[in-house]
Amino acid sequence: MLLTAALTLALAGCPPPPPPPANHLLTSPRWIKNTLVTEYWPAPERWFTGPLVRVPGIPGRHRSDWLFGARGLPMEGEGMASDGRVYHFAGPYDIGWYNRAGGDTAPCTAPGFWTNGRPFRISAPARARYAEGHSRTLVYWKSAAVDRHVIPFGSRIFMHALCATPARGWVVARDTGGAIGGAHIDIYRPPPAQIGNGADLRGQPMLVVPPGTHPRHTPHC
């Protein structure tokens, strides 16, 4: 992992909600303190071992945990199937999650904790939809998923903790997801060498620069 600050594990339960501006749409450049940075990538089906099943939108049979699990398409957004083709999760994006014990769990707002432990699989597989190809045009290490109710698409985002990545501190809001809330950004990166949860970085201040605006002072690495 290239994030430079200490990594922590997500804990069950939710801390107090963060102060503004993490709860409303930003229209001018603003530093936010109570942040969460995570990582996501196209999930390779070769990582998964679940039963082979059929779903609409993807020809043939594919691993159930790749299709329905929290480390597969519903959470990562897209992935590469065993046939070498790229597919993406096409919604619904408000689909619920179960933890490993089968209990409901949901993402909290800005800090990114889950209400009842880490998610394990979606709660309604029959509702899930899939499609071929990429859902959006993204660039490794330079694109981020955001909560569009807080950070407008096209916003530039700076964080000193990202200076060691190829982004050199700056990423662009290009994607979204059902588990992204408040001052939480999810960095798009290449798949790691093996299945994992990725980096989890909390509390680092970030500057959000909405489209068409300019900060008074532009930070640099």
The 10s digit of each residue's pLDDT in 55-79 is 999 999 999 999 999 999 999 899 9
CB atoms under 10 Å from CB of 219, counted, come to: 15
Mean pLDDT, range 136-146, rounded to an integer? 93
Tokens of 157: 């985002």
Report which listed range, 112-126, 162-176, 186-200, is most confident: 162-176
Give the pLDDT band of residue 199 (cuts 50, 70, 90). low
What DSSP state is assigned to residue 115?
Answer: B
> Quick check: 151 pLDDT over 90?
yes
Match 């769990």 to its residue by tokens: 105
- What is d(CA 192, CA 1) in angstroms, rounded to the nearest whole number? 8
- What is d(CA 210, CA 26) in angstroms, rounded to the nearest whole number? 7
Query: For residue 106, what is the enclosing H or E element?
Result: none
Strands across the sheet containing 78-80: 43-44, 78-80, 86-89, 130-132
- Predicted confidence at residue 2, as pLDDT, reads 35
What tens digit of pLDDT does each residue of 162-191 get? 999 999 999 999 998 878 888 889 999 998
Please tell me the number of Cα atoms within 13 Å of 177 on its side-chain side.
31
- What is d(CA 144, CA 71) in angstroms, rounded to the nearest whole number? 18
- What is d(CA 144, CA 29) in angstroms, rounded to the nearest whole number? 17
Angle at 90 between CA 209 and CA 75, to 5 degrees: 65
> Quick check: 8 pLDDT over 60?
no
Give the pLDDT band of residue 201 (cuts 50, 70, 90). confident
- Predicted confidence at residue 166, as pLDDT, reads 93
- pTM (two decimals): 0.80
Could you give the percent of the chain with pLDDT greater than 70?
A: 86
Closest CA to 75 of 59, 56, 88, 62: 88
Q: Is 8 in contact with 199 (CB distance < 8 Å)?
A: no
